[in-house]
Amino acid sequence: MELPRTILKLVLRELDLFVSFSKGDWSASFGPSLIFSIGAMRAPRANPTSASILSGYLFLILWTALYIYFFDLLNQIIGLAEDRINKPDRPLPQGKVTIAGAKLRCAAVLTAFLSMSLYCPSVLLETLCWGLTTAFLCLTPAGQHWFGKNTIGMTAGSWALLSTSWKAITPATTQSRHIVCTIALWVGLVMHIQDLRDVKGDAVIGRKTLPLAFGERAGRAIITFCLLPLGFGVLWLGGVTQSAWHIHVLAAVHLYLAWRVMHQRTEGTRYDHRTYMVKRVFNKYRLVITLTWSSVPDLHIHTILNPSIRCSKIPRA
C-alpha cells in the first residue's frame, strides 16, 4: 500500500506544480487552441471520425500543456528577480520548488514536448519553432527587446499554437495556413499591451519593452496610434473581417483598447492588467468569428451552429 500512495503523492505534487506554474497562461493557450480546433473540425474538407476527433483532442491537450509548461518553467527560472516584484505568488518566489527542481522539470518537459512530434510528425516544425522561440525569448538579449519579445516571439508562438491546433484535427490547407499567419501577425502587434502592467519588474531585469524603451507616455501612444491600427489592418487585409457587422465589432474593440491604453487610471498596474484581459477575451471572440466566417467560407452561420446540417464531403487532396 505504501508504493501506490507514494506514487499518488508524486503525481498530485507534479499536477499541483503544473497548475501553479502555468495557470496564468491557460486562457492564452488552451482557450485559443481548443476554439481554433473547432474550425478545423467543421471545415468543408475535414471529415474526421469520432475516434480521430477524440485522439486528436487528446494529443492537442497534451501538446498544449507541454507547450505552455515548458515556456513557464524556463521563463520563471530566468525571471525570478522580476517575479519577486511583479508576481510574488508564483511557485519559485514562494519557495514551493527549488531552482534546481524547476530546471530538472524544465528538461523533462522539453524532452516530452519534442517527443510529441514522433507521434504526429506533421507538427514537427511547429514543435521545433516553439522550442527555439522559447529559448530566444528567455535566453537571448534580443528576446528581452520589445521587437524580439512581442513582434517576433509572440508571432512565432501564436503561429505554432494555432497551426498545431488545426493539424491535430485535420490536415492543413492553403486557407488555414493563411488564417493562422494573419492571426499570428495580429497577436505580435497588439501583445505589447501586456508590457504596460510589468514596467517595474521589466526594469529590474533590464528588459527593453516599449514603455521602457520610449518612455511610458510615448509607449502608450505608439500602441494606440500605430500598433492597434496596424493590427486591425492586418485582420482586414488578411480577410478575417468578412462581414459588415464583424468589421464594426472589430473596429469598436480596437478603439476601446486604444482608449484604455491612453486613459490609465489611478489603479495603475491593476488597470493595465484588466486592459490586457480585455484583449485576451477579444482574442477568443475573434477566433470564434474566424472559424465561423473564414474557416468554413462556403457555409452560412446557421449551418455551423446546427449540427443536423452536415458539411459537404469533399475528398482530401
Domain spans in the chain, listed from the N-terminal domain onward: 7-305
* Mean pLDDT, all residues of the chain: 82
Share above pLDDT 70 across residues of the chain, in percent, rounded to a whole number: 79
pLDDT at residue 312 in the model: 33
Contact yes or no for 208/145 (Cβ under 8 A):
yes
Alpha helices in 23-90 (DSSP H): 26-42, 50-78, 80-86
pLDDT at residue 298 in the model: 39
Contact yes or no for 72/22 (Cβ under 8 A):
yes
Segment 253-263 mean pLDDT: 83
Whole-angstrom distance, CA of residue 271 vs CA of residue 29: 23
* 96-100, 136-140, 197-201, 227-231: segment of lowest average pLDDT: 197-201
The pLDDT tens digits for 171-204 are 898 888 988 999 999 999 988 888 887 777 778 7
Task: Using CB atoms within 10 Å of the CB of residue 82, give its burial: 0 to 12 exposed, 13 to 18 middle, 19+ buried.
Answer: buried
**Which is nearest to 160 in space by CA: 137, 177, 174, 144?**
177
Segment 44-73 mean pLDDT: 89
* 130-139, 190-199, 282-291: segment of lowest average pLDDT: 282-291
Contact yes or no for 25/277 (Cβ under 8 A):
no
**Residue reference for cell 524556463:** 74
Q: Can you tell me whether residue 152 is helix, strand or coil? A: helix
pLDDT-derived band at 99 (thresholds 50, 70, 90) equals very high
Whole-angstrom distance, CA of residue 288 vs CA of residue 308: 20
Of the two residues 81 and 279, the one the predictor is more confident about is 81
Over its C-alpha atoms, the chain yields an Rg (Å, rounded) of 20
Q: What is the 3-state secondary structure (H, E, C) of 77-102?
A: HHCHHHHHHHCCCCHHHHCCCCHHHH
Please report, for residues 10, 11, 63, the alpha-carbon distance to residue 7 in angstroms, rounded to integers and kept in the order given: 5, 6, 23
Whole-angstrom distance, CA of residue 40 vs CA of residue 172: 8
Of the two residues 204 and 99, the one the predictor is more confident about is 99
| Residue 91 CA neighbour count, 13 Å, CB half | 24
